[in-house]
């Protein structure tokens, strides 16, 4: 009897410690808008919800009323922010409507030479995107894209200064009608606004493309990231017509910064179409995680790469592509533009 009571006391103590830790982390996540260290906790809502569910199950087995109540409250606090992404698993895939032009975009943070050349080429051939957006490009990006020169004759490839890993490459089948590069902070990090239009003689709406790679949200980087997002939000707000913001934003859909971005731009969150699937994991995990099932994958990574669309764009699909060696996975977005005559520049 004493041995059994001792085991029960030990398990109760472990569950209590886990619950206290989860309570602290959840409180920090709720207060994430106050300071960047607190916001870091908000990115891990799915992980917190999963651990809280474990603590709740053990609390039920122990029949510990106080722990059960506390864990129910914590579970609700962490599930509510991610609930729209959970419901994505119940939706039917969207089908294309008559009229308008379909467009496929591929976005990837390459982490320089970490991206495997062969897998990168296979990704482009298999997905066959109309527009490719790349960040953290390796010095060899020119030669890597050489086999695709005829497919993507229109390109923007910027390089400048020591922070060139934040530069952005755009490779497009459609002409790039106009380009505006806005540089942020003393690091001169770019936010690019470009109009991509159907070829001359073809009908269809232009796509106002806003793309960026924000700084990692630690210390000064969090403030710089927010400045980049503010510039991108203003660029999106001033556009008339189909607008898409895409890139490595270094925020999850349930962070307070992301909520402010959506509220300020009224853009639709494309990540809701792919549920909790992560787009980034620590480098040592990046090749392993995708070997797990889609259910387990979110436990090891975060969805920080995004595509946000204006209301006049029909988002048909947003999914994560296969690993190519980077600590990011590519995101592939299928959209349909409204059936409008394209303005000419």
What does the alpha-carbon distance between residue 55 and residue 26 come to, in Å, rounded to a whole number?
A: 14
Residues 275-328 pLDDT 10s: 999 999 876 555 555 555 444 555 678 999 999 999 999 999 999 999 999 999
pLDDT at 345 exceeding the cut of 50: no
Interval 220-233: pLDDT, tens: 999 999 999 999 99
Question: What is the per-residue pLDDT for 200?
Answer: 81
- What pTM did the predictor assign? 0.90
Specify the pLDDT at position 289.
52
| Torsion-angle region of 219 (φ positive above 0: left; ψ -120 to 50: alpha; else: beta) | left
Mean pLDDT, all residues of the chain: 89
Tokens of 91: 């939706």
Give helix 65-86 / helix 45-62 axis angle, nearest 10°.
150
pLDDT tens digit sequence for 195-217: 999 988 788 889 999 999 999 99
The pLDDT-based confidence of 340 (bands split at 50, 70, 90) is low
Distances (CA, A) of 123 to 11, 80, 86, 129, 170: 48, 35, 27, 9, 16
| 136-148 pLDDT per residue, tens | 999 889 899 999 9
- The average pLDDT across 53-69 equals 95
The secondary structure of 161-213 as a DSSP string is STTGGG-EEEEESS-EEEEEEEEETTTTEEEEEEEE-PPTT-----EEEEEEE
Q: What is the pLDDT at residue 343?
A: 45
Report the alpha-carbon distance of residue 302 to residue 300 in Å, rounded: 7
The C-alpha angle 14, 18, 23, rounded to 5 degrees, equals 150
Q: In terms of Cα–Cα distance, which of 143, 108, 140 is closest to 124?
A: 108
Query: In the chain, what are the domains?
Result: 2-89 (no CATH), 95-337 (3.60.10.10)
- pLDDT band of residue 162 (cuts 50, 70, 90) is very low
Distance in angstroms (rounded) separating the CA atoms of residues 136 and 109: 6
pLDDT at 287: 52
Portion of the chain with pLDDT greater than 70, in percent? 88
- 97 pLDDT exceeds 50? yes
Look at residue 242 and tell me whether its pLDDT is greater than 80: yes
CA distance 181 to 188: 10
The answer to whether 317 and 291 are in contact (CB under 8 A) is no
pLDDT score for 190: 92
Mean pLDDT of 258-287: 86
């Amino acid at each position: 009897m004493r041995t059994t009571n001792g085991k029960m006391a030990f398990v109760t103590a472990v569950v209590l410690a886990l619950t206290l830790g989860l309570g602290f982390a959840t409180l920090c996540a709720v207060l994430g808008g106050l300071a960047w260290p607190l916001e870091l906790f908000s990115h891990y809502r799915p992980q917190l919800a999963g651990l809280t569910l474990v603590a709740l199950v053990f609390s039920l087995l122990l029949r510990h009323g106080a722990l059960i109540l506390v864990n129910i409250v914590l579970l609700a606090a962490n599930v509510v922010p991610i609930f729209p992404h959970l419901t994505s698993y119940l939706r039917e895939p969207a089908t294309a409507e008559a009229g308008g032009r379909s467009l496929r975009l591929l976005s990837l943070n390459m982490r320089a030479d970490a991206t495997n050349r062969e897998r990168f080429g296979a990704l482009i051939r298999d997905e066959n995107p109309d527009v490719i957006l790349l960040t953290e490009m390796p010095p060899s990006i020119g030669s890597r894209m050489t086999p695709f020169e005829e497919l993507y004759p229109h390109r923007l490839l910027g390089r400048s200064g020591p922070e060139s890993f934040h530069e952005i490459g755009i490779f497009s089948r459609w002409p790039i009608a106009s380009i505006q590069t806005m540089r942020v902070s003393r690091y001169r990090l770019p936010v690019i606004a470009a109009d991509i239009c159907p070829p001359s003689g073809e009908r269809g709406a232009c796509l106002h493309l806003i793309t960026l790679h924000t700084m990692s949200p630690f210390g000064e980087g969090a403030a710089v990231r927010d400045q980049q997002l503010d510039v991108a939000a203003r660029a999106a707000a001033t556009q008339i017509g189909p607008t898409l913001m895409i890139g490595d934003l270094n925020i999850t859909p349930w962070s307070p910064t992301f909520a402010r971005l959506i509220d300020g731009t009224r853009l639709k969150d494309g990540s809701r179409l792919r549920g909790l699937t992560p787009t980034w994991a620590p480098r040592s995990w990046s090749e392993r995680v995708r070997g797990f099932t889609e259910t387990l994958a979110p436990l090891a990574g975060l969805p920080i790469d995004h595509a946000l669309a204006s209301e006049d764009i029909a988002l048909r699909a947003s999914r994560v592509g296969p690993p190519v060696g980077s600590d990011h996975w590519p995101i592939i977005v299928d959209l349909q533009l409204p059936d409008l005559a394209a303005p000419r520049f």
